[in-house]
């Protein structure tokens, strides 16, 4: 046991106050820009996308992410509700060595909120809501500007002009504005905590619903969590504690089916084309050079695919501390993790224009993953001045 001021090495702490100010959707985002030497990047732009955490660029031949120790057991940061976190402690360099080989990429210690002894029941309810939108629309050519540029290209090649009359084209279609929406995000948190002389407890539940700015209700992230934390003095020498967390997550993303991302197509479809044809169907992008090589109508892409994923996870631990002497405490902890994931991807039989983009048949791909593991730790703590 050692005081923090006597620790030689790098230990960084993010408090619950900082987390509350940042209001992150995922707890990993609370480390972004708050802890030196920790790189946090989002793997994708869709709601609920995985977040990569690297400590000082450390990497191994296998998994490169740091290990998360949640109240003494190895867990998963992505399943936590940020409002349940009391503090995050990042161990780098030699400080992570006490965890052996699993600490090669660094350690993130998570301490969750608990009740206080000799306190009345405290009920807390928090909610927040907001609107998400793209911070910037990339500048692109209007329909008139695009037609003039394409005419010049064809004329230089000695070909007939694709747009003999450009006077009526105007600004045309801004495809980015067609696919980008204002998307709501809302969350609720309810917690009850307190304690008596020998017992402390904390119970909490939360709900988060985040819609994607691309595709509207076709993309989104939803997370529901429940947590129970209990600590009790069984006797003068024996203490018991347990912490159990249940998480249900669901994600909806747009499946590109090898057709390029929706944003890629929106940036490359000419503004001279309209989203729908005269019959109300999605406009097919022609394969005319300069108009539609290897791109499709992004609105049709959003409408005709989906990619859903659901994760159920329960993890927690139960531990006993036995005070052998005034200076020595023997501890034992049993940690448990169980998770099941279900995925389903759909692609509809459709022609997006051009033979290379025809989806010849509808297809459904389903996947399932199940994982259960546990860990047992027995250790002693010696504290002597």
Is pLDDT at 25 greater than 80 in this prediction? Answer: yes
* 131 — pLDDT class (breaks 50, 70, 90): very high
Per-residue burial over 245-255, b if 16 or more Cβ lie within 10 Å, else e, is bbbbbbbbbbb
- Report residue 168 as tokens: 């009526």
Average pLDDT over residues 241-256: 91
User: pTM for this one?
Assistant: 0.86
SS3 labels along 4-70: HHHCCCCEEEEEHHHHHHHCCCCHHHHHCCCCCCEEEEECCCCCCCCEEEEECCCCCCCCCCCEEEE
Is pLDDT at 8 greater than 70 in this prediction? Answer: no
pLDDT for the residue 60: 57
At 137-168, the pLDDT tens digits run: 999 999 999 999 999 999 998 988 989 888 88
Least confident of 115-119, 122-126, 154-158, 293-297: 293-297
Distance CA 334, CA 342 (A): 27
Q: What is the mean pLDDT of the chain?
A: 88
Is pLDDT at 368 greater than 60 in this prediction? Answer: yes
Is pLDDT at 121 greater than 80 in this prediction? Answer: yes
Element (H, E) at 300: helix 298-303
Distance CA 327, CA 351 (A): 75
| Length of the chain as a residue count | 385
- Report residue 258 as tokens: 């090898």
* 9 — pLDDT class (breaks 50, 70, 90): low
Strand, coil or helix: what is 83? helix
171 compared with 287, residue with greater pLDDT:
171
Q: CA 44, 48, 52 angle in degrees (round to 5)? A: 55
At 271-283, the pLDDT tens digits run: 999 999 999 999 9
Q: What percent of the chain has pLDDT over 90?
A: 57
- Report residue 228 as tokens: 């129970």
* 57 — pLDDT class (breaks 50, 70, 90): low
Q: How far is CA 294 from the centre of its chain?
A: 30
At 321-330, the pLDDT tens digits run: 999 999 999 9
Distance CA 100, CA 65 (A): 15
Distance CA 356, CA 375 (A): 51
CB 154 within 8 A of CB 148: no
Torsion (CA) 146, 152, 156, 162 in degrees, nearest 10:
70
- Report residue 9 as tokens: 């090495």
pLDDT for the residue 218: 85
* 171 — pLDDT class (breaks 50, 70, 90): very high
234 compared with 256, residue with greater pLDDT:
234
- Report residue 50 as tokens: 């995985």
* 331 — pLDDT class (breaks 50, 70, 90): very high
CB 75 within 8 A of CB 337: yes
Phi-psi region of 171 (alpha: psi -120 to 50; beta: other; left: phi over 0): alpha
Find which of 54-63, 95-104, 186-195 is predicted with most confidence, using mean pLDDT: 186-195
Average pLDDT over residues 103-116: 89
β 85-91/11-15 pair status = antiparallel
Q: What percent of the chain has pLDDT over 70?
A: 94
pLDDT for the residue 384: 83
pLDDT for the residue 360: 76
The DSSP string of 89-118 is EEE-GGGGGGGGGGGTT-EEEEEE----TT
Place of tokens 């394409």: 150
CB neighbour list of residue 373: distance below 8 Å, 6 or more residues apart: 336, 337
pLDDT for the residue 332: 94
At 295-328, the pLDDT tens digits run: 889 999 898 888 899 999 999 899 999 999 999 9
Exposed, middle or buried, 279 (CB in 10 Å: 0-12/13-18/19+)? exposed
Beta bridge partners of 250: 222, 310
- Using the 8-state DSSP alphabet, how is residue 355 labeled? G
Beta bridge partners of 185: 130, 210
Average pLDDT over residues 28-44: 88
Distance CA 254, CA 345 (A): 9
């Amino acid at each position: 046991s050692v005081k923090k001021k006597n620790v030689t090495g790098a230990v960084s702490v993010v408090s619950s106050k900082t987390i509350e100010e940042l209001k992150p959707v995922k707890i990993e985002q609370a480390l972004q820009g708050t802890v030196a030497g920790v790189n946090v990047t989002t793997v994708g732009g869709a709601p609920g996308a995985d977040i990569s955490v690297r400590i000082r660029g450390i990497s191994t031949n296998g998994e490169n992410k740091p290990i998360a120790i949640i109240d003494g057991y190895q867990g998963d940061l992505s399943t936590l509700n940020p409002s349940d976190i009391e503090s995050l402690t990042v161990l780098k360099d030699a400080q992570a060595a006490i965890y052996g080989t699993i600490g090669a990429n660094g350690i993130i210690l998570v301490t969750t909120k608990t009740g206080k002894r000799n306190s009345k029941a405290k009920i807390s309810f928090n909610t927040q809501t907001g609107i998400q939108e793209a911070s910037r629309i990339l500048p692109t050519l209007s329909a008139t500007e695009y037609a003039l540029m394409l005419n010049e290209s064809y004329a230089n090649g000695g070909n007939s002009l694709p747009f003999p009359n450009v006077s009526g084209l105007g600004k045309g279609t801004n495809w980015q504005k067609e696919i980008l929406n204002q998307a709501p995000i809302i969350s609720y948190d309810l917690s009850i905590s307190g304690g008596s002389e020998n017992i402390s407890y904390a119970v909490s539940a939360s709900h988060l619903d985040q819609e994607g700015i691309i595709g509207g209700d076709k993309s989104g992230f939803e997370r529901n969590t429940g947590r129970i934390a209990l600590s009790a003095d069984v006797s003068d020498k024996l203490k018991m504690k347990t912490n159990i967390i249940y998480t249900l997550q669901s994600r909806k993303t747009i499946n590109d089916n090898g057709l390029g991302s929706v944003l890629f197509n929106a940036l490359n479809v000419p503004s001279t084309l309209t989203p729908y044809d005269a019959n109300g169907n999605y406009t097919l992008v022609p394969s005319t050079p300069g108009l539609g090589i290897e791109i499709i109508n992004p609105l049709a892409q959003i409408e005709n695919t989906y990619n859903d994923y659901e994760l159920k996870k329960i993890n927690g631990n139960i531990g006993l501390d036995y005070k052998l002497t005034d200076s020595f405490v023997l501890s034992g902890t049993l940690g448990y993790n169980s998770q099941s994931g279900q995925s389903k991807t759909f692609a509809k039989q459709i022609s997006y224009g051009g033979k290379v983009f025809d989806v010849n048949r509808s297809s459904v791909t389903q996947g399932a993953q199940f994982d259960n593991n546990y860990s047992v730790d027995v250790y002693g703590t010696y504290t002597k001045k």
